[in-house]
Amino acid sequence: MTQRVELATVRDRLAVDELITDYAVAVDDGDWAAYRSLFAPDGRADYRSAGGIEGDAGQVAAWLAESMRFFSMRQHLIVNRRVHFGVLDQDAGDTARVQADYINPMRFAENGDGSSAPDFVCGGRYTFGLLRTYDGWRLREVVVQEKWRRLPDRIPPAVVD
């Protein structure tokens, strides 16, 4: 490999890493406009293994907005990122696949006991499919494979609108 190719690969890896981090921050902060902006126009997400839905970025963002309102604290930790670049239309490096593990502690909005400990923790693996666009790297596919979850000993009262 030439130095130019190696530098381009490093830049792409950093951009992909930033996109995955932006994804976690958007979900944790409840910034659904930012969440949608991370996806390519045909981007989709599949949260069915975690009890969610599968759909385009707008549909999933709406479902997440409704589901996540029950949690006052969310903190995705996405680790062990494995990045593999692919080929699209004979152009090396226009696609990427990322597998990454996650752990996600959350606290119910109506905790009531003053505790700062999470009430709900889950973990698993993400598979991200990425596409290089004119606007930079974007998500084309997000698949959540929840492997475990720990529920609270007590269930908080239902949140009333």
Q: What percent of the chain has pLDDT above 70?
A: 81
d(CA 126, CA 76): 11
Q: What percent of the chain has pLDDT above 90?
A: 69
Tell which wins on pLDDT, 118 or 20.
Answer: 20
Taking residues 98-123, what's their average pLDDT?
81
What CATH topology corresponds to 3-150? Nuclear Transport Factor 2; Chain: A, (3.10.450)
What's the confidence (pLDDT) of residue 22?
98
Taking residues 88-105, what's their average pLDDT?
82
pLDDT class of 108 with cuts at 50, 70, 90 = confident
Taking residues 100-125, what's their average pLDDT?
81
What's the confidence (pLDDT) of residue 161?
44
Query: Which two tokens mark 90?
Result: 């004979």
Query: What are the pLDDT digits (tens) for 32-86?
Result: 999 999 999 999 999 999 999 999 999 999 999 999 998 889 999 999 999 999 8
For the chain, the DSSP string reads --HHHHHHHHHHHHHHHHHHHHHHHHHHHT-HHHHHHTEEEEEEEE-GGGT--EEEHHHHHHHHHHHHTTEEEE--EEEEEEEEEEEETTEEEEEEEEEEEEEEEEEETT--S---S-SEEEEEEEEEEEEEETTEEEEEEEEEEEEEEE--SS-PPPP--
What's the confidence (pLDDT) of residue 5?
64
Taking residues 137-147, what's their average pLDDT?
97
Residue recorded with tokens 């792409």? 12
Domain residue spans in the chain?
Answer: 3-150
Residue 155 has pLDDT above 60, yes or no: no
